[in-house]
């Protein structure tokens, strides 16, 4: 769901632990985990087992929960089940969602190109963040990775300049009405109150009417309208989507984006020049997000493993050492243990040797009396990601 009102405070719950941990997660994988086709998120070979109707239905249901990377998931699903599924009734909802997501991603990419080109022209330093960064850094096509927002980091010194450019390009300060699935203009007082408690600007939204779609794509998106909040019909019955821009001056209430902006590098994708963070920095952020949200929220964020496996597969030894330094600095050794140990067993992606050695040191249950919160040790998030606990 799109919402411009976000809390920067993430609550975690204390999880009970028993016994020693292991780099082999099979010892604590919940019963029935194999029923969830997690392999759809990965990059290793697809399973060779037969795709019967029930398994195909389960795969389609899972694919819809991973809409952010649906183009990648769909290609793997077809490779597994065969090209016949491209016309199957069972896959109709997935194919409809694919049309929605691909068109939204294409629209976001075009608006991102326009926006960052103007940032560069006006010499406003920036860096892509979160899904926007991963999209550019880890996927074969930029339309393979979508999201609700375009996320851009700009130091507080430049944040109003960046906002002015967005407003000049048709983004408006708006709030989301969840009941009617429409944005409406926000008030200055409300916006100021929200921004005072957050590390990003809110309410930057552009309504984009899409006019270059063929009839088949239009029909697919219309069938999917009730399931995708960015999409809607205008009063003139044209198809339109909302594109939201999140301008971050911080990564949290206590951490600015200044370091990420200063250490960013230029990446050229299809002629588009983008400023992106380092690979270790993005992997570090993914580990933190997967773990801290995973231990607190059921069935949230599992698709980010798709981001993680693609980035980790690119890590060379210098990047591995830089990642270890970040994890050590921020006391995220235990979260890294829980998150990364799944890559070889569930996704077929081997960890760089230094990283594997590093996380192995966090495989012991803390002694009685140690503060789990200070250790960032809230138990295994894996069962909660898939709704087993």
Mean pLDDT across 315-330:
94
In percent, the amount of the chain with pLDDT more than 90 equals: 61
| Among 146, 227, 233, 245, residue whose Cα is nearest residue 182 | 233
Residue 357's pLDDT is 96
CB atoms within 10 A of CB 353: 10
Polymer length of the chain: 389
Q: Range with the lowest mean pLDDT among 6-15, 110-119, 248-257?
A: 6-15
Give DSSP secondary structure letters for 65-124: HTGGGHHHHHHHHHHHH-GGGGG-GGGHHHHHHHHHHHHHHHHHHHHHHHHHHHHHHTT-
d(CA 306, CA 219): 29
3-state secondary structure at position 173: strand
Mean pLDDT on 186-190? 59
Average per-residue pLDDT for the chain: 85
What pLDDT is attached to residue 29? Answer: 46
Beta strands in the chain (DSSP E): 127-128, 149-153, 172-177, 182-185, 200-201, 204-209, 231-233, 239-248, 265-269, 272-276
pLDDT above 70 covers what percent of the chain? Answer: 83
The token duo for 174 is: 């708006």
Bridge-based pairing of strands 239-248 and 149-153 is parallel
Alpha-carbon distance of 388 to 368, in angstroms, equals: 27
CA distances from 203 to 125, 185, 222 (A): 21, 8, 26
pLDDT in tens, 125-170: 999 999 999 999 999 999 999 998 999 999 999 999 999 999 999 9
Tell me what pLDDT residue 17 has.
35
Question: Taking phi first (over 0 means left), then psi (-120 to 50 degrees means alpha), and beta for anything else, what does residue 300 get?
Answer: beta
pLDDT at 28 over 70: no
Q: Which residue, 86, 33, 94, is CA-closest to 228?
A: 94
pLDDT of residue 378: 83
Q: What is the pLDDT of residues 343-377, one digit of tens each?
A: 999 999 999 999 999 999 987 766 666 666 666 78
Of 179, 173, 246, 170, nearest to 209 (Cα)? Answer: 170
Each residue's pLDDT tens digit, 225-238:
988 889 999 889 99
* Structure-model confidence comparison of residues 120 and 199, the more confident one: 120
Q: In this predicted structure, what is the pLDDT of residue 69?
A: 96
pLDDT grade for 175, boundaries at 50, 70 and 90: confident
In this predicted structure, which of 5-9, 26-30, 56-60, 83-87 has the lowest mean pLDDT? 5-9
Residue spans per domain, the chain:
1-9+102-277, 278-389
For 72-116, how does the pLDDT look when each residue is reduced to its tens digit (9 = 90+)? 999 999 999 999 999 999 999 999 999 999 999 999 999 999 999
Farthest CA pair distance, the chain: 65
pLDDT of residue 389: 65
pTM for this structure?
Answer: 0.85
Reply yes or no on whether the pLDDT at 4 is more than 90.
no
Higher pLDDT, 11 or 292: 292
Torsion of CA 82, 84, 90, 91, to 10 degrees: 70
Kindly give the interhelix angle for 70-81 and 92-121, rounded to the nearest 10 degrees.
Answer: 140
What's the pLDDT at 371? 66
Which of the two residues, 6 and 380, has the higher pLDDT score? 380
Contact criterion met (CB below 8 Å) for 320 and 354: yes
What average pLDDT does the segment 300-328 reach?
Answer: 94
- Give the pLDDT mean for 271-283: 93
Computed on alpha carbons and rounded to an integer, the radius of gyration of the chain in Å comes to 21
Identify the three-state secondary structure at position 289: helix
């Amino acid at each position: 769901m799109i919402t411009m009102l976000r809390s920067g405070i993430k609550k975690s719950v204390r999880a009970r632990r028993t016994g020693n941990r292991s780099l082999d997660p099979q010892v604590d994988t919940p019963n029935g985990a194999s029923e969830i086709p997690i392999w759809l998120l990965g990059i290793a070979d697809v399973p060779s087992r037969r795709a019967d109707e029930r398994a195909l239905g389960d795969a389609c249901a899972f694919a819809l929960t991973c809409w952010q990377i649906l183009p990648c998931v769909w290609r793997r699903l077809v490779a597994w089940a065969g090209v016949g599924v491209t016309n199957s009734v069972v896959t109709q909802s997935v194919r409809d969602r694919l049309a929605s997501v691909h068109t939204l991603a294409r629209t976001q990419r075009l608006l991102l190109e326009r926006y960052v080109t103007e940032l560069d022209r006006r010499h406003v330093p920036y860096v892509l963040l979160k899904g926007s960064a991963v999209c550019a850094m880890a996927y074969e096509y930029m339309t393979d990775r979508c999201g609700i927002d375009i996320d851009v980091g700009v130091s507080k010194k430049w944040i109003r300049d960046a906002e002015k450019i967005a407003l000049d390009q048709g983004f408006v300060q708006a709030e989301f009405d969840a009941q009617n699935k429409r944005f409406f203009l926000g008030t200055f007082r409300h916006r100021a109150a929200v921004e005072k408690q957050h590390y990003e600007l809110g309410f930057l939204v552009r309504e984009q009417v899409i006019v270059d779609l063929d009839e088949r794509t239009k029909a697919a998106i219309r069938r999917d309208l009730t399931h995708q909040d960015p999409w809607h019909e205008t009063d003139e019955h044209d198809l339109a989507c909302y594109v939201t821009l999140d301008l971050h001056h911080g990564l949290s209430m206590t951490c600015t984006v200044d370091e990420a902006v200063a250490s960013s590098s230029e990446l050229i994708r299809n002629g588009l020049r983008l400023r992106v963070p380092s690979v270790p920095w993005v992997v570090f952020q993914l580990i933190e997000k997967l773990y801290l949200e995973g231990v607190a929220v059921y069935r949230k964020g599992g698709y980010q493993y798709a981001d993680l496996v693609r980035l980790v597969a690119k890590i060379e030894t210098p990047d591995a050492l830089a990642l270890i330094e970040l994890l050590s600095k921020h006391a995220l050794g235990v979260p890294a243990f829980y998150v990364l140990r799944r890559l070889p067993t569930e996704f077929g992606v081997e960890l760089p040797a230094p990283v594997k050695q590093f996380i192995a040191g966090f495989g012991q249950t803390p002694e009685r009396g140690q503060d789990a919160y200070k250790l960032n040790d809230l138990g295994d998030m894996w069962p909660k990601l898939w709704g087993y606990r």
